[in-house]
Amino acid sequence: MAFPVNPIAGDGAGVHSHVNNIESLPMSFLKSLFGLGGGKEQGGAAPAPAAKEAEHKGFIIRATPYKDGGQFQTAGTISKEIGGEMKEYKFVRADRFSTIEEAADLSLSKGRQIIDEQGEKVFK
C-alpha cells in the first residue's frame, strides 16, 4: 500500500503521511476496543453465565458480571417478549467489585433502574 507524499516535507524524499483510515485497522483491534466478541481468544474477558436473574415489571434481568483486571465488571441483560419477539438490551456499567456476588447484585439493581426509567423504550 502506497502512502501519499507529505507536501510539507519539501521534495518528499523518505517522508510519508499516514492516512487515518478506519478500514485499514484490524477488526480484532476494533472488536477489543469496543467490547465486541471479547472472548479469551481475542484477549478480552470471557463472558460469564448469568450469575443472578430477576423479574421486574414483566422484564427479565440477568446479571452477567465478568472478570476484568482482577475485579468483576457490572454488566447484564434486560429482555422481554414484545409482539411475539424476544427483545434484549445489554448494559455495562463502570462499577467494579472484588466479588461476583457484589457485581451481580448491582447489575440487578441497575437493570431495575433502567426499566423504571425507560421501560420498553430501552429496546428502540
* Separation of alpha carbons 31 and 48, rounded Å: 18
Select from 67, 61, 68 the least CA-distant residue to 105: 61
Residue 32, classed as helix, strand or coil, is: helix
Query: How far is CA 45 from its chain centroid?
Result: 11
Helix (H) or strand (E) holding 31: helix 27-34
* Separation of alpha carbons 63 and 111, rounded Å: 8
CB atoms within 10 A of CB 71: 17
pTM: 0.62
How does pLDDT run along the chain (124 residues), one tens digit per residue? Answer: 444 444 444 444 443 333 444 444 454 444 444 444 444 433 445 555 788 999 999 999 999 999 999 999 999 999 999 999 999 999 999 999 999 999 999 999 999 999 999 999 999 9
With a CB cutoff of 8 Å and minimum separation 6, the contacts of 96 are 68, 69, 71, 72, 73, 74, 103
Pairing of strands 85-97, 71-82: antiparallel
Residue keyed to cell 517522508: 15
Q: What domains, with CATH codes, occur in the chain? A: 1-44 (no CATH), 46-123 (3.30.160.350)
